[in-house]
Structure 1
Amino acid sequence: MQRPTMEDVAARAGVSRALVSLVMRESPKVSPHRREAVLRAAEELGYSPHAMARSLASRTSTVLGVMVSDLHNPFFAEIVDGLDAAARAEGFELIINTGGRSASREGRAVESLLSFRPAGLVLLGPAVPAAAIASAADRAPVVLVARSSRLRTVDTVNDDGEAGSQLAVDHLVGLGHTRIAHLDGGHGSQAAPRKRGYTRAMRRHGLEPVVLPSEYTDVAGAKTAGRLLERVDELPTAIVAANDFNAVGAISALEESGLEVPRDISVIGYDNTSLAALSHVALTTVDQPRREMGRLAAEALLQRVREGRTEPVRHLLQPKLVARSTTTAPPEPHR
């Protein structure tokens, strides 16, 4: 069956299409009698106004575009939960797409969202170039989550990744570890401050940093852990992974090789996603308040949309360490 149209509602109610449009836009110019007739006809036909068409007709949008860097990462799903709750509370809907962690695909994804003429955009962990972000901000308000920016036209919501990695290293050193490796997030958003925090904390403790290139995925975590296992004489007693996803991949590769986590090697993730809290994973990790980050992003966007704020907002949230079952004291050296 075809979706009922405004014309169908008008014919059923015996009124003009223009009058139906006024009712759907909640115009006060319609009499109660005619409003009731239109709404009754709409209900009988199962008609509901299309949010995008209504936005285009009224030149005001109640749609927010959301570009997610990686749909496989539960970290972003939990941010979207916070975004969605805050947006719906203010009468806005979300349109979501993904860039698949590819800068070129993300660029196309952003352009696709802009074609819907949204009230604003939220970009989650984008790898898209800064120039593309600036261009998007010229056409709609933009908020970046898990990505920094110096643009005055762009708001940001981040955790302090440098501080978070330092918490991870401090925790491991407190357990007695001295050989601690870091699997970095490659070109992923916020990988640089996390690596910087790890390196600074290691040097503060008088330890030598060991950074292995990786990415924010479980596959990359497993591959990098596999390369680490080839360095038998230099095997660390602990790993600070790029994120939870990366950590789970590393643990899988380590345990397949015959090592036991944490008896033989400790592992720390980053993000504290729902994955980390699963009882059979029980991953020690650094917590980012994901839903709070989503709420703050929505609020920042709506402040620009509704209040006309022009000064940039820079939310920097402080992370916390959540100790679970994947970290313990290092194994005793073989005699």
Structure 2
Amino acid sequence: MGYCAHMPSGPTSGKRSVTMADVAREAGVSRQLVSLVVRNTGYVSPEKRALVVDAAQRLGYRRNTLAASLAARSTNSIGLAIFDLHNQVYADFADGVLDILGPTSYQLLLSTSTQDETSLAAGIESLVGLRVDGVLLATHIPEQLDLAAILAGTPTVTIGEDPRLELGDAVHGGDREGAFAATDHLVKQGHRDIVYIAGPATAQNRARRAGYHDAMTQASLPDRVVPGDATEEGGARALLDLRRSNTLPTAVFCYNDSTAIGALTCARREQLRVPDDLAVVGYDNTRAASYPGIDLTSVDQKAREMGADAATLLLDRIGDPTRPGRTQTLTPQLIIRSSSSVFRSH
């Protein structure tokens, strides 16, 4: 019935799986009682439970979770696809998810990928192939990717971007609003030449670029956008290119904290004073942003709360896959530190 184990093999015993029926015979109880103990359901007296556990240990029985899950048409697992293990914001997302899943019977399966579309699709497909009950997507989703085809009806919630699925949910921050606040802060610090170091070509990057544009337009200042890839290496490379081309601005607003930390690293390597020669603002307010020596002004998109909200939405969708899609938007908050201002503000 979906449970098996390995029977220790000896010279004459051969190999076969130990079943619950074997455990029942060894313990002198019914197979149904063994099933209750294995699944940890129903009432079993302590004495009977001890008999079953002892018999199972003697025979080398272990529950075959996958077979049991397939029989039950549920694996009690949820897949989480993330973009970058080195980026603290994804750990914050995962912490929020675990805040909700921890008290449940669900296990979390993790998939990571590169920026390559093929790698991302393969990672999501691997989760679907493992028959997870639902998928959380906390990753950059290329606009040309056919998500619906890859997910094949698996309940899904996206974190950070809109779902682009007819029956899907999303939790994201007010990216345009947050980017406007970050850029407007730099304008109010007296900066007139502010560059946006962009992220990958996603809806989230478009929203943050639009917020930057709104603030620059309001201040009657021209946009300057340079490409980035959401990594520290990309941020350092973008700033170095500006330095070497003699087009260095007085301030940069970066797609995320990883990009901003890369820009800070490059600035200090180039002996630029922060914020006197160059002000730097990031996005995500990751733990590293508050570290001494970094002290990065950043937009807090409330990543842990986003992860928790997404997990809650996913459990609801697993319970009712045909329910209308829902989108939750969290209001971001600008956290000002010394990378953009000589005065510390709280």
Both structures adopt the same fold (TM-score exceeding 0.5): yes
RMSD: 2.7
1:42–1:48 Cα contact (<8 Å) kept: yes
**Between 203-212 and 34-43, the greater mean CA deviation after superposition:** 34-43
Are 1:122 and 2:136 counterparts?
A: yes
Q: Match of 2:210?
A: 196
Of 24-33 and 303-312, the range deviating more from structure 2: 24-33
Identical residues among aligned pairs (%): 34
From the superposition, tell whether residues 3 and 178 of structure 1 become closer, same or farther in structure 2 (CA, over 3 Å). Answer: farther
Aligned residues: 327
Kindly indicate whether the alpha-carbon contact (under 8 Å) linking 1:51 and 1:62 is maintained by their aligned counterparts in 2.
no
- Structure 2 match to 1:67: 81
Residues 321 and 29 (structure 1 numbering): CA distance in 2 closer, same or farther, change over 3 Å? closer
Where 2:102 maps in the other structure, the secondary structure is: helix
Q: 2:253 aligns with which of 240, 255, 268?
A: 240
Q: 1:131 to 1:256 in 2, by over 3 A?
A: closer
Tell me if structure 1 keeps the 8 A contact 2:18–2:60: no
Paired position in structure 2 for 1:250 = 263
Among 112, 132, 137, which residue is 2:146 paired with? 132
Question: C-alpha displacement at 1:205, in angstroms?
Answer: 0.9
- Name 1:83's counterpart in structure 2: 97
The yes-or-no answer on 1:96 pairing with 2:110 is yes
Shift of 1:158: 0.7
- Residues 55-76 of structure 1: CA deviation (Å, up to 9, x unaligned): 2232223100111111121111
Alignment equivalent of 1:165, drawn from 165, 168, 179: 179
Kindly indicate whether residue 289 of structure 2 is the aligned counterpart of residue 276 of structure 1: yes
Cα distance, 1:63–1:260 mapped onto 2, change above 3 Å: same
Please tell me the residue identity of whatever aligns with 1:293. Answer: M
Q: Is the Cα–Cα contact under 8 Å of residues 220 and 249 in structure 1 kept in the other structure?
A: yes
User: 2:13 is matched with which residue?
Assistant: none
Q: Which moved more, 1:32-41 or 1:109-118?
A: 32-41
Q: Which runs of 5+ in 2 are unaligned?
A: 1-5, 9-16
Kept in 2, the 8 Å contact 1:175–1:328? The answer is: yes
TM-score (norm 1): 0.88
* C-alpha displacement of 1:258: 1.5
**Residues 145-160 of structure 1 mapped to structure 2, 5 A cutoff:** 145-160=159-174
Tell whether the 8 Å contact from 2:142 to 2:201 is kept in structure 1 after alignment.
no
1:25 equivalent in alignment to 2:27 = no
Shift in Å, 1:90: 2.4
User: One-letter code of the match for 1:275?
Assistant: A
Q: 1:312 aligns with which of 304, 320, 325?
A: 325
1:105 aligned partner:
119
Q: Is the alpha carbon distance of 1:15 and 1:255 closer, same or farther for their aligned partners in structure 2, counting shifts above 3 Å?
A: same
Aligned partner (choices 165, 189, 212) of residue 226 of structure 2: 212
Q: Aligned with 1:321: secondary structure?
A: strand
Query: Which amino acid in the other structure matches residue 310 of structure 2?
Result: A
More displaced 10-residue stretch of structure 1: 305-314 or 79-88: 305-314
Contact 2:198 2:225 in 1 (8 A): yes
